[in-house]
């Protein structure tokens, strides 16, 4: 009688807030740049409103607050501000480098962000060598979380069925996308509001917990 194989053949990581501590940095960019266009918001307000939300929805909210459309150059200029702040301030999520070195299961990255931003974040935090060739952007497939399309595309490209995949996320839209894709989901959850998450989601407080928790699924 042979032993059962591992229950997990692929781990799909989100990027922002999961591997790199970029969300507060990009929230600062939102606060800084929207002020130029007459919209006052703090970094904390931007983080609460825009975490895990696609750029189109974020811009629509800025236009609602502004009471007028933003200029055509808004997104390009905002991304330039973000990129500069990321180069200056971005750090990996604590334990990220040790975790990817320890993880024995193949892994990839699937993010709502544009590929250029993903690669910049990984390069600044020294994570890029671990993910080169295995980076999937929602912009490439035109499907953004909470839709499951990005995760399904990544899994198919990596040759792994959804029920053999684990998603690691830090936002509710990402969690919802993973569940909709038929994958097991780990939420890196710093909030005390665990009740916000569906009951079948695994909660971790640190990335250091992940390798052992995934091994325990076998």
Tell whether the model's pLDDT for residue 104 goes beyond 60.
yes
In a domain? residue 3? no
Verify that 84 and 117 share a domain, yes or no.
no
Residues 32 and 108 in one domain: no
Tell whether 15 and 85 lie within a shared domain: no
Domain count of the chain? 2
Tens of pLDDT, residue by residue over 29-59, are 999 999 999 999 999 999 989 887 889 999 9
Q: Are residues 73 and 114 in the same domain?
A: no
Q: How many CA atoms lie within 13 A of 140 on its CB side?
A: 17
Last residue of a domain, one of 65, 89, 113: 89
| CA distances from residue 79 to 26, 47, 89, 126, 142 in whole angstroms, order as listed | 9, 16, 15, 21, 19
> CA end-to-end span of the chain, whole Å?
17
Within a domain: 5: no
Choose the final residue of a domain: 35, 69, 89: 89
Whether residue 3 has pLDDT greater than 60 = no
Does residue 115 fall inside a structural domain?
yes
Task: Provide, for the chain, the percentages of residues in helix, strand and coil under a 3-state DSSP scheme, each rounded to the nearest 5.
Answer: 50, 15, 35
In the structure encoding, which two tokens stand for residue 59, read together? 């811009």
In a domain, 176, yes or no: yes
Give residue for tokens 């024995």. Answer: 104
Please report whether residue 98 resides in a domain. Answer: yes
The catalytic residue positions are 14
Kindly state whether residues 65 and 107 are assigned to the same domain: no
Angle 210-159-178 from CA coordinates, rounded to 5° = 45
- Record the pTM: 0.87
Tell me the average pLDDT across 90-110: 97
Q: Which residues contact 112 (CB under 8 A, 6 or more apart)?
A: 16, 52, 54, 137, 138, 144, 145, 150, 173, 174
Least confident of 5-9, 128-132, 139-143: 5-9
Cα distance between residue 195 and residue 159, in whole Å: 34
pLDDT tens, position by position, 184-198: 999 999 776 667 899
Asked if the structure places residue 4 within a domain, the reply is no
In terms of domains, do 68 and 103 share one? Answer: no
76 with 166, same domain: the answer is: no
Q: Which of 89, 115, 142 is the last residue in one of the domains?
A: 89
In a domain, 71, yes or no: yes
- Count of CB atoms situated within 10 Å of the CB of 55: 17
**Domain carrying residue 114:** 10-21+91-215
- DSSP, collapsed to helix, strand or coil, labels residue 217 as coil
CATH number of the domain enclosing 182: 3.40.50.1000
64 and 125 share a domain?
Answer: no
Q: What pLDDT does residue 2 have?
A: 41
Asked if residue 198 and residue 117 are part of one domain, the reply reads yes
- The verdict on 73 and 146 lying in the same domain is no
Residues 84, 147: one domain?
Answer: no
Three-point CA angle 194, 199, 201, nearest 5°: 80
Counting residues of the chain whose pLDDT is more than 90, the rounded percentage is 86
Q: Does 1 fall in a domain?
A: no
Cβ atoms of 15 and 118 within 8 Å: the answer is yes
Q: Does 63 lie in the same domain as 102?
A: no
CATH number, domain containing residue 35: 1.10.150
pLDDT in tens, 59-94: 999 999 999 999 999 999 999 999 999 999 999 999
Q: What distance in Å separates the CA atoms of residue 157 and residue 106, rounded to the nearest whole number?
A: 13
């Amino acid at each position: 009688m042979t032993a059962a194989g591992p229950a997990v053949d692929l781990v799909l990581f989100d990027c922002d807030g999961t591997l790199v501590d970029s969300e507060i940095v990009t929230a600062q960019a939102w606060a800084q740049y929207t002020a130029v266009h007459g919209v006052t918001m703090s970094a904390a307000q931007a983080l609460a409103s825009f975490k895990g939300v696609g750029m189109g929805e974020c811009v629509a909210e800025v236009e609602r607050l502004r009471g007028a459309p933003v200029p055509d150059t808004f997104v390009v200029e905002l991304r330039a501000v973000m990129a500069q702040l990321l180069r200056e301030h971005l750090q990996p999520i604590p334990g990220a480098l040790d975790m990817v070195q320890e993880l024995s299961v193949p892994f990839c990255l699937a993010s709502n962000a544009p590929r250029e931003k993903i690669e910049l974040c990984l390069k600044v935090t020294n994570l890029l060598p671990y993910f080169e060739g295995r980076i999937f952007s929602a912009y490439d497939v035109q499907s953004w979380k909470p839709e499951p399309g990005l995760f399904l595309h990544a899994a198919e490209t990596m040759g792994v069925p959804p029920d053999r995949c684990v998603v690691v996320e830090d936002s509710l839209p990402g969690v919802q996308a993973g569940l909709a894709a038929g994958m097991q989901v780990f939420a890196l959850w710093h909030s005390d509001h665990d009740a916000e998450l569906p009951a079948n989601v695994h909660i971790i407080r640190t990335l250091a917990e992940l390798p052992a928790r995934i091994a325990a699924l076998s």
